[in-house]
Every structure is written in C-alpha cells, then in structure tokens.
Amino acid sequence: MTNNLEELKKAVHKKGFNISMMINTFKKRQRALKSTREIPDAVLCEVCLEYLKRGDHIRKEFPYFMRILNSKMDEFQANKVQAEHKEKKFGAMPSNMKSILKNM
C-alpha cells in the first residue's frame, strides 16, 4: 500500500499540487489539537485519486484537500464500524431480559 501511496503522491505532485505539504500541515494541526486521529494510507490513496480526477477544476487547494480528507476519513471510520459490527455475533437474549419484556 505504501508504494502505491508514494506513486499516487508523485502523480499529484506532477499535476502541480504539493500534497505532501498538505498532509504534513494537517498532521501538524492535529498534533497542536492533541488529537490521536491517524490517517490510514488507504484514506490518503483515496484523497490522491480524488485529486487526480478533479484537480484541474480546483481553485482553493487546501480547503478542497481538507474537505475531501475529512469526508474520506468519515467514510473509512463508518465502514470500519460496520465491519466490526458484522463480525460480532449476538447471542440469545438473556433470560432476565426475556422475563422483563414478557411482562410488558
């Protein structure tokens, strides 16, 4: 994944957008806020791909980068939570809950 990310970063740099500086600026802001939120490489790859698709039509690059990064991070977290939820198996209802609900 890291090689793919590096290749995507180089492709974005060739289009004239310094994505490495944007990533470092974002990380610096996160450290200043004492955030523990890490950016997975898969999310950065998606951000790079999004920029490569729409890069010619972007006027303000940093706000665009932040918007795409936040939306991809939210999407990544939602998919992660859904996958974890599917992995958990919910057993039968406890007997005391059954008796409570039966009386209602």
Q: Does pTM surpass 0.75?
A: no
Question: What is the band of 75 on the pLDDT scale with cuts at 50, 70, 90?
Answer: very high
pLDDT per residue over 41-74, tens digit each?
Answer: 899 999 899 888 876 777 787 888 888 888 999 9
Q: Which residue has the higher pLDDT, 60 or 90?
A: 60
Q: Output the DSSP codes for 19-53.
A: HHHHHHHHHHHHHHTT------HHHHHHHHHHHHH
Q: What is the mean pLDDT of the chain?
A: 82
Question: What is the band of 83 on the pLDDT scale with cuts at 50, 70, 90?
Answer: confident
Question: What is the band of 15 on the pLDDT scale with cuts at 50, 70, 90?
Answer: confident
Do residues 73 and 26 make contact, with C-beta atoms less than 8 angstroms apart?
no
